[in-house]
Amino acid sequence: MEQPQVFVSFFLDASRPNSDGKCLIKLNIYQKPHKRRYATKFHVTKEDWAKLNSAKLRDEDLKEIKKKLNALQSQAEDVVATIKPFSFVTFEDAFIKGIVTTPTATTSRMLTDWFTTSINLLKANDQVGTAGTYQTTINSINEFKKNLQIQDITPAFLQSYEKHLRSENKSLSTISIYMRNLRSIINKAIKDKFLSRDAYPFKSYEIPTGQNVKKALKDFDINHILTYTPEKADQQKAVDFWIFSYLCSGINFADIIALKPSNISGNYLTFYRQKTIRTKKKDLRPIKVGLNSRALAIIEKYKNTDPQNPYLFSILEAGLSAKTIKNRCQRFIKWVNKRMYEICEDLGIENKTGTYAARHTFSTVMKRKGAPTSFIKDALGHSSVATTENYLDSFEDEVILEYANALTTFNQSVLKAV
C-alpha cells in the first residue's frame, strides 16, 4: 500500500506571543492523518507573518527571515525524501537531533533512483558539494544512455562510457570522479543485497587516474607575494588570506571560513577538515598549526568583532544552511582568485596563482626544506602518504638540468688517480 505524501510547511503559533507581541514560527510536518510541529528560532508578529507569505515582500529583515525559512524547508524536504517508509521518529533523529541514518535500500532497479537516494542522504548530511558531484555524474550518464538499470552497469558499459567521456574531452580527473561515484552506487547496491557480488563490474575495469597539475610556486615567486603591498584594499585582503592559507599548513578556504575563536589557543591553531569531519568516523585527528607573527597579525586584522557571530572571520554567520555555506565559500574563493590573478600579473608571475596554489606551495616548500613526508601528510590532514605525494611538486627544471649535467662531469682528482 502506497504511503500518503509528506508535506513540509510552517505554522505561526499565535497562542503564546512573547512580551514583544511576537509569536514562534514552527516547522510543520504533515502526513495524513498525522502532523507534528517543531520549534524554530524565529519569532514574528501576526502582521509580519502575513507579509512573509505575501508575494510582494519589501522589508529587508523579513526577507532575511524568509530566506532562512526557505533553506530550512528545503533541508527538511531533503531529509524526508531519504526516509522510506516515512517515520516521524526517524525524521526527528535525522533533522532535529542531527543523527543521519542510512535510508532503507531502494527497491527500484533504475540507476537514477539509486543516485537520487544517495544524493538526498548526502544533502541531509550537509555534504552538498559531494551531492553536487553525484548529480553531475548521473546527469552525464543519462546523457550517454537513458533509463539504465543497476544491472546494466557492466565492464563493457564502463569502457564505452569512458570512451564517450574522452570524446567529449573530459579530463582524467573528471572521468575518475564520475567513475568513483558510480562505483560507490554499485557498492551500495551490493551491500543492500540488490546486486550480486559476482556481477561487480569494477573487478575487471580500472578507473583511470591522472597526476595533479602542479600548482606550487617557485621560491622567488613566493617571496614576491610575501613582500608585495597592493595599493587596492581588496587586493590586500585577498593576498592576506592567500598568505594565511600558505602559512597555516595550506589550510583550505572551506576550513578558513569555518574557523571559530575556540580554534585558536596562544600561538597554535587546531581544527578538523570540513571535508572529512562528516565522512571519516575512525581515526579523525585534528590538524595543529603553529602560528607565526605574520599569521597572527592577519587574524588580528580580519577577526570578527560581532559578538553574535560565532565565526573567527565574518564571511559566515550563524544559522546558515549547508548549501548557503557552500555558496559563500565558492564566492569567496572566486573573489580571492580574481584578485590574486591580478597580483600575479603585476608581479610577472606566469602561472595563475589561486587559492589552491597556497596549499600546494606549502607542501612543496616543506619538501624543499627537508621536512619528512609523514610530517607534511599530517599537516595537510591526509590519511595516506600516497595522497600527499600527489601534492608534492616535481623537481624544478634547474634541478633536473643540474643532474643531467652531472652525468658528464667527474672529479678530476678521481680521473687522475685512475
Distance CA 314, CA 237 (A): 13
Which sign does the torsion angle of CA 92, 93, 98, 101 carry? negative
The CATH code for residues 219-400 is 1.10.443.10
Q: What is the mean pLDDT of the chain?
A: 85
Q: Are strands 268-271 and 264-265 parallel, antiparallel or unpaired?
A: antiparallel
1 or 94: which leads in pLDDT? 94
Residue 280 pLDDT greater than 70, yes or no: no
Give, for 324, the enclosing helix (H) or strand (E): helix 322-347
Rounded to an integer, the average pLDDT of 279-284 is: 60
Which sign does the torsion angle of CA 235, 240, 243, 248 carry? negative
Single-letter residue type at 79: V
Residue 55 pLDDT greater than 50, yes or no: yes
- In this predicted structure, what is the pLDDT of residue 183? 95
14-28, 87-101, 197-211, 291-305: least confidently modelled range: 87-101
Nearest to 297 by CA among 236, 366, 244: 244
pTM beyond 0.85: the answer is no
Is CATH 1.10.150 what the domain over 111-204 is classified as, yes or no? yes
Distance CA 261, CA 45 (A): 35
Distance CA 181, CA 187 (A): 10
Rounded to an integer, the average pLDDT of 269-294 is: 79
pLDDT tens digits for 20-39?
889 999 999 999 888 998 88
Residue 196 pLDDT greater than 90, yes or no: no
Contact present, 274 and 258 (Cβ < 8 Å) = yes
Domain locations in the chain as residue ranges: 6-96, 111-204, 219-400
Residue 100: band (very low, low, confident or very high) from pLDDT cuts 50, 70, 90: very low
Single-letter residue type at 40: T
Residue 166 pLDDT greater than 90, yes or no: yes
213 or 378: which leads in pLDDT? 378
- In this predicted structure, what is the pLDDT of residue 108? 75
Chain position carrying cell 552497469? 153
Other CB atoms within 10 A of residue 127 CB = 21
Rounded to an integer, the average pLDDT of 282-292 is: 82
- DSSP secondary structure code for residue 203 in this structure: G
- CA distances, 90 to each of 3, 149, 213, 270, 286 (Å): 16, 29, 44, 34, 31
**Residue 194 CB partners (closer than 8 Å, separation 6+):** 105, 106, 107, 150
45 or 97: which leads in pLDDT? 45
Residue 101: band (very low, low, confident or very high) from pLDDT cuts 50, 70, 90: very low
249: alpha, beta or left? (left if phi > 0; alpha if psi -120 to 50): left
Chain position carrying cell 524526508? 80
- In this predicted structure, what is the pLDDT of residue 274? 81
